[in-house]
Chain A
């Protein structure tokens, strides 16, 4: 699914900053991996590499067996759009568009027709438990509902990997728990998940946990 072989990233200087030391990691189909580490440890760099936002400066990053470093920028963007679903801490919903439109946005760059986009968006919203709020504007949704819309938007494109960056960072603990339940449910359904967090409680939900400290990755033994 995702395979890092000696992948690392050094921002060119002067002086060069080594944001992520060469690391090896293999995430298999259907795994739920959590990534922990304090702020500034290199979590974001890791996310950028796995999320195909940055190419590693050393080593390789394989996604579904495709060497992403060998791709051109446009190909990498397209691959990202098709195989990776992003969930952000701050939701990033378009404020003046209905929930289903926000979800349908996930298919906009896939050449899917309008009617089909709408139908798929509806199905996905039902899947995350928001079948009753299809036409709601984000401003009328609660934080938990907004994050569900964001998850639906990530899921609608049928990605290989769901990449969540602090998905519960902006939510209170009860809502956060419900979002985590949703993620766990997706995991049971076979989805491959990678959740970046600095909350140990969130990290504990994963089937595997890797930690990043000062740009060095280490796998934590399951507790």
Chain B
């Protein structure tokens, strides 16, 4: 009972199917072209959606790069400094409260003879009276009225701190043994005391005692509090102000890998009769520490990255949802034309997929390279252009995938399609 619906003689073989129900179908090629057309019909919205992906992926990649960079830098720093530093504390008073200084006078030399020790030195903070001030002139108040810390240290401490001198020199073992009244001051202290040059042989007055300034330290790699202190030789300090009432320590710089061994030997080397008076604090095992810190950082950064990606995803989901809501009419129409639910789903998935993938890939690559350059880390993605040495960027699908084509672009497309 097929009606005569068209001029005789014309045939539409694929439409004249006499089976009662022929299932709808959607060709792959048609699905893709519909998705592309859907993407391109709203250039601004597609661009925004794409931007969401770009931001999400960009952040993800940037953070990945940051993680790698941070981990490697942390590794370096721990290797260079912490892993080669041992501190020995004087805990004699826990055993006998009347003991003064347990470090022997030749403590630097004793520890220095241990295998793997570079420099070692004893230091403590000199406890001054309230009235004793640090000044740059015999009379008058100190620089700005604030107390300046005085540190008694043997020459090994200054060496172990790896100082950068702005002027002069640090004191050495001779100053130590000869009870010289000399001082090495930090750049900050020098500024506060108004000492700008050593040409004039300036002196600092601690209470009524004068100390000749022989060096100004601009920077140290360890024990940064030295920069804000007046450092005097240990023996001189002991002579002037007496032994410290506890709190003396020894700073040891070791060769890489020797820290643990030095820590175990230091106490005995210092006082074989009373090794219990000393407590050596070795650095954490470098391997363990590195793994721990790197692991923590990786987790933290990955969490951040995941959050960022999640935000990006939510953004895209939101935009897509709005797009779908906006196009309910179109969906209804397609359903009326025989589209199955899965055809609609496939089309929208293809559209979002195209937006997300193309936008994300493109930006992700670029950002990755940029962060990589900025943070001096090894790029783990290779730029696709560089392999062939061709400017593939201009022709790549990513550009079209952004959907930022102007209206003319769409019309051009339509015209091309018509001409086909």
Contacts and interface: CB of A to CB of B under 8 A. Distances in A.
Interface stretch (B142-150, B203-211, B410-418): B410-418
Interface residues of B, number: 42
B20 interface: yes
Contact of B338 (A82, A90, A101): A82
A51 B339 CA distance: 14
A219 interface: no
A75 B25 CA distance: 11
User: Could you say which interface size class chain A belongs to?
Assistant: 35 or more
Given A30-B3, A135-B414, A135-B415, A111 B338 contact: no
Given A109-B24, A110-B25, A158-B5, A96 B41 contact: yes
A164 B40 CA distance: 31
B30 interface: yes
A78 B336 contact: no
Given A78-B21, A108-B26, A109-B343, A94 B330 contact: yes
A166 B236 CA distance: 108
Interface in B19-62: 20-27, 29-30, 33-34, 37, 40-42
Given A158-B5, A190-B4, A78 B338 contact: yes
Of B23, B333, B338, most A-chain CB atoms within 10 Å: B338
Given A82-B338, A192-B3, A77 B24 contact: yes
A118 B335 CA distance: 21
Interface in A106-149: 106, 108-116, 118, 120, 134-135
A1 B141 CA distance: 113
Interface string A63-81: 0111000010011011111
Given A53-B336, A86-B336, A95-B41, 18 more contacts: A64-B1, A64-B20, A75-B21, A78-B24, A78-B338, A82-B22, A86-B337, A88-B333, A98-B418, A105-B334, A108-B334, A108-B339, A110-B14, A111-B14, A111-B26, A112-B14, A118-B418, A189-B4
Interface of A: 1, 29-30, 51, 53, 64-66, 71, 74-75, 77-82, 86, 88, 90, 92, 94-98, 100-101, 105-106, 108-116, 118, 120, 134-135, 153, 157-158, 160, 189-192
Which 6 A-B pairs rank lowest in CB-CB distance, beginning with the nearest?
A81-B338, A96-B41, A109-B24, A78-B24, A109-B338, A111-B25
Interface of B: 1, 3-6, 12, 14-15, 20-27, 29-30, 33-34, 37, 40-42, 329-330, 332-340, 343, 410, 414-415, 417-418, 420
25 contacts: A29-B3, A77-B339, A77-B340, A78-B21, A78-B338, A81-B336, A81-B337, A86-B337, A92-B332, A92-B333, A96-B410, A100-B418, A101-B37, A101-B417, A105-B337, A108-B26, A109-B24, A109-B340, A110-B15, A110-B24, A111-B14, A120-B12, A158-B6, A160-B3, A190-B5
